[in-house]
Amino acid sequence: MAYTSGGLIQSLDYNLLAWAGNTSGTYTSTPNNVAYVWGVGNGDSGYGQTVSQINAVTAGDDVTATQWAGLVSTVNKALAHQSGTGAQLATGSNIGITSGATIEAFANVVTAVTTINTNKDSFNSTRGSTTTGSNLDNTWSSGTPTTHQKTHTVTFASADHARYFFNAGGRLNLDLSTASGTDTAKETAWTNLLNNGVGTLSLDGKSSSRSGTGYTVTTNGLAIGFWDLTGTNQTILRLTDTVAAYTANYVDIKAKVTGDAGSNGGLGTVITFTVDYNDGAADSSYNVGGTANDTISMTMRNRIDIVNPEETYLANSWGTPVVADV
């Protein structure tokens, strides 16, 4: 590669930075290049953005100011998406992008291309808009120890749409709460476990998290993100009550991905969340007003919110996921 700071830029140099040397629009991960992160890419690389600004230059042709400006502009959008505007390169006459001027190489462009590949999973601190889901209410009553299960799906138009969503910083928020249920001590315990302990379970590209605190984390699968999902349910979180009478009660949150995986390293189109409520504590475990009456008759409330990637530097390439109650 002849590309050196202060030197002239050859078509091969430009094509290596833009497309890893490919001139046919084929995505390649090495060496580091802009298209693999900015365009379709493969697997957990690729934001699904248009790559027309960085089309390959025909071998032997001069690199025009327009082509050089397109490359730097695309790099700057990626840098700003990942780390904010402070990470961007200079543009215009400061970096030799003027009509009729001889374009010279700048070492910081090579560094920036490496950076956007290294930081492909990062995004600046602001996500995009949140689409608040509908309340998915369901009733749960018990007279003896029992279990209750609810299943919800989030469907993308294609595996690539799902890839772009999570690669660009999208998030799925599963909110657990109760719409009713404080008439008995056991109902109150369940309400507190869900509202305060779980709160919102967030699924990101490479990990998960809960907004709640406390209680006993019996199974900690919070290292699981979208890219760790398989076609079989995995437990992201099992949270067990810590109130003495109800330590047999717990909630499991599981997730899997199914559907057509596509041809670009995707996982599928449908993310399924399964919530298992286990009421293992006996109904007589707590004496209410001198009477053994500690059953539950509650309205469990689940909601899935779609937290979109930012759209200041990225265009929406992920579409609109559809939430359903199964």
- Same structural domain, 33 and 141: no
- Is residue 243 over pLDDT 80? yes
Q: Of 94, 118, 142, at which residue does a domain stop?
A: 118
Compute the distance between CA of residue 240 and CA of residue 222 in angstroms, rounded to an integer.
15
3 lies in a domain? Answer: no
2 lies in a domain? Answer: no
pLDDT at 8: 67
pLDDT at 68: 87
User: Looking at residues 278-300, what average pLDDT do you find?
Assistant: 73
Compute the distance between CA of residue 92 and CA of residue 242 in angstroms, rounded to an integer.
61
- Same structural domain, 114 and 215: no
The residues that bridge with 274 in the sheet, in sequence order, are 151, 254
Which helix H or strand E contains 234, and what residues bound it?
strand 234-240
Domain hosting 164: range is: 130-325
- Is residue 287 over pLDDT 60? no
- Same structural domain, 194 and 256: yes
pLDDT tens by residue, 133-150: 999 998 888 766 588 999
Domain count, the chain: 2
278 lies in a domain? Answer: yes
pLDDT tens by residue, 80-125: 999 998 888 877 666 666 776 666 667 788 899 999 999 999 998 7
Query: Mind giving me the DSSP string for 35-82?
Result: HHHHSS-BTTB------GGGPPPPTTPPPPHHHHHHHHHHHHHHHHHH
- Same structural domain, 66 and 95: yes
- Same structural domain, 60 and 36: yes
Alpha helices in the chain (DSSP H): 11-19, 34-38, 65-83, 107-118, 159-167, 185-192
- Same structural domain, 190 and 220: yes
Query: Mind giving me the DSSP string for 148-164?
Result: EEEEEEEE-SSHHHHHH
pTM for the full model? 0.92
15 lies in a domain? Answer: yes
- Same structural domain, 77 and 173: no
- Same structural domain, 26 and 96: yes
6 lies in a domain? Answer: no
Q: Of 67, 91, 118, at which residue does a domain stop?
A: 118
Which helix H or strand E contains 236, and what residues bound it?
strand 234-240
- Same structural domain, 94 and 148: no
Helix (H, G, I), strand (E, B) or coil at 112: helix
Centre a 10 Å sphere on the Cβ of residue 103 and count the other Cβ atoms it contains: 19
Q: Of 95, 118, 141, at which residue does a domain stop?
A: 118
- Same structural domain, 234 and 259: yes
123 lies in a domain? Answer: no
5 lies in a domain? Answer: no
**Residue written as token pair 């007589």:** 284
- Same structural domain, 277 and 203: yes
